[in-house]
Amino acid sequence: MDPLGRRPVLTALIGALVIAWSAPLVRLADVPPATAASLRCLLALPLLALLARREQRRHGRLPVRTRQVCALAGIFFAFDLVLWHHVIAAVGAGLATVLGNLQVLVVAAVAWWLLGERPPARLLAALPVLLLGVALVSGALGGQTYGRDPRLGVLLGLATSVAYALFLLVLRQGSTDLRLLAGPLLWATGSAAAFAALLGVALGELVVPGWQALFWLAVLALTAQVLGWLLISSSLPRLPAALTSVLLLAQPIGALAISAVVLSETPTAVQYAGAACILAGVVVATATRRTRLRGPVEQAGHRAVLEDLPDCPGDERGDRENRQPVEASAVVDGQGVGDDHLADAGVLQPVEGRPGQHTVRRRDDDVGGAVVEQQRGGLADRAAGVDHVVDQDAGLVLDLPDDLTHLHLVGHPGVAPLVDDRE
């Protein structure tokens, strides 16, 4: 197992706290929003290029279409970053980070509008709580508020969530090979750096920063934007969804605490209450339910996936009776640091042997049968465990031997940067 995955809870918590520094570091850099957006992406490129190069040696080059789609996604990413940096200026780093979590709602709305993906009932149930939180943070219900222009900050926060939703949906169309993570992010980040610079010229926000500002932006690029993504992506796929949602709350809560201590930001009690409502709504909205599939699963991310499942309540796993494969597609959601969507993709790291050959563990106490988590087209090995053998080179095998039903995870599941990449 990879070192980052040996303690997934600690790794995820550290990753969330690293990302919590994103907005405060933007404030410390003290440069115009477009300048910060362009340079944070530009300074992240060397490390992303090294990671992508390593990825390319293992899995081959990105297809031309993938590079083109990821570059297009980077345009929306640039809009997202520039708008979000304006939110930081309007309401402060802490509240801006909390408002960034509204992308959960907006991504679902945009997916419903453009792709016909109906939002789950849990998200609709969380909607009143989220809207109440937005109203309290903005000061729409009265009372004193912190920030230069809280109402403008909330409006820009919604706009940045729309831009981010479009970024995710476009990146998702290009990143269909679940093994490739750094490569697509490299192309999207490079495109975002260039387009944010163009926005800076158009808005009059592109300046040459001083050395101190460059230092803070470099810290931001290497920590929150790259290191945080690595920590989150290596740990969240190993954790139950409920625990994932709770752990990721460390990011906005940490940002509020850092902003209060380092930047002396002092939101009012009403705004803190609004932040609590937003975070509670996000937890409810991102809570997941497991779906039982009665059959093996074939084709997850260009790889053949076989499961030996009970045929009926009286059958046992591994009895060689259930032989009818059903198809399931796995796609990559492109975001964000700060979102349970990180755990959606079922990407398995190759073990020793042929390329494309993987094993995934099942917990012995899984008496209810194999559980495959289905979210937005993804497959994930959750706490209940899944029996998989994935072999990219082999043809479809209609059964698994019984002695394969107690395998344990080898290698680490990767995950698309559904991390909030702007953070």
What confidence tens digit (pLDDT) does each residue in 182-208 have? 888 899 999 999 999 999 999 999 999
Q: Is residue 396 part of a domain?
A: no
Number of domains in the chain: 1
Residue 341 lies in a domain: no
Does the residue 339 lie in any domain?
A: no
Question: What is the share, in percent, of the chain residues with pLDDT greater than 70?
Answer: 64
Mean pLDDT, residues 312-316: 44
258-306 pLDDT per residue, tens: 999 999 999 989 999 999 999 888 888 876 654 444 444 333 443 333 3
Residue 414 pLDDT > 60, yes or no? no
> Which residue type sits at 247?
L
Q: Taking the model in full, what pTM does it have? A: 0.65
Mean pLDDT of the region 371-398 = 34
Pairing of strands 357-362, 326-327: unpaired
pLDDT, residue 359, reads 39
The whole-chain average pLDDT of the chain stands at 71
pLDDT of 209-243, one tens digit each?
999 999 999 999 999 888 887 788 777 777 776 67
Mean pLDDT value of segment 66-72: 92
Q: Is residue 41 part of a domain?
A: yes
pLDDT of residue 84: 94
Per the structure, the complete domain to which residue 59 belongs is given by 3-286
pLDDT in tens, 140-172: 777 778 888 988 999 999 899 889 888 888 887
Looking at the domain assignment, is residue 327 inside a domain? no
Q: Do 216 and 29 touch, CB atoms closer than 8 A?
A: yes
In a domain, 317, yes or no: no
In a domain? residue 378: no
